[in-house]
Structure 1
């Protein structure tokens, strides 16, 4: 079983183009077979489908549409009084995902200015249960991701214990865990055991070095040569998102793939 890597178009090829659809083409030229992306707010469904067909790339993951969210909330799944906005954003993203045959949607929880309250917890659970019912009918998986304070200060879901607890309460195979190893290392470390212990809950993995969020073979805290072997041996066979900041351009930075013995 070979590991599969997809290009995160929020980060990769950004030095070459500000246009998401052009980054599709650049990812194809670089050898990627799949991509992941935030919701493309300035792109029509028809244009996205056209470029996907042109390149033949699989769209693995979309972030939920953020709608008109102001104030840097970074999603609103946990924000009280924004349930209607969450549902609207969800349905808009589902329609986009269906057009692209994308099977995963990241349900961003939101940023808070103060510590979370009981209302945040109840809102988050309610919205995720609603999402589970919608996504089950479309055969799409929703993802929740713990994000560290260094990446997004004030993000509602910022630890793995809460993430596991909420998944147990939602109790749906259509809501799973996204593990970004950049955030995992910052939040708790213990990457090897966490991957093995949480594998049944994991729906997606992303990678970047710590602390600089650069290529996996750059100097940092994570030994990716070892971690990739752990992921493979654990039995994870889905896509791994390359959500990192290239130091000297995307194409030059892709030398890590062959260095570690893999291919795109």
Structure 2
């Protein structure tokens, strides 16, 4: 009975934690993920320090852009804008970024960017749902840069396949960095650098699993505690018996340029 109550309490805790924004501090001590060696937010701050007009695409709750801007100080672009498609995140990002003078625009992730052509010399994005290379090329000025960290193929698929079973090869290969490189080139952009890493993750209790799947909703679409209670209970027992559930995230870093206009 004690184990049952513990399981129920952990489920309730995982369900109760708010999912807005991209602050993952709640997971401290309950789950961990190694970070890519390139330090995206720090590097984005260095880019912001020398940019004139910058756009952060799909900013989430604005936490990463806020940190990057703090690293750029005292230098910063004259204009900084951000887009976000999920209403709770729009509100959170606006409250966080408005004091920094950032304009947050509510825009669906799959819609054209709501800006004029050649508006920005720097476009940033951390974990976009799907990069729209044609739109990125359109809003970049000639000579401008797209600097972004993307989620790679089969990311955290140990956990995904625990709940959904083996996934088709085309699903496992989605977000392939070489395919994205080709798509960027087809949009007229030049990939100056592309780096990839696969990183260890650990989940220490079932509350962390529940909160992760509620927060990162595309991992197990339609996830609810009620629908997956038997699998959650089995995983809870496994965690109690064997220790952390190990998975691996996949990340890649893009440094992409829009060619400058020929002097001719």
> TM (normalized to structure 1)?
0.33
Higher relative contact order (CA 8 A, sep 6+): 2
> TM (normalized to structure 2)?
0.33
Highest CA radius of gyration, 1 or 2? 2
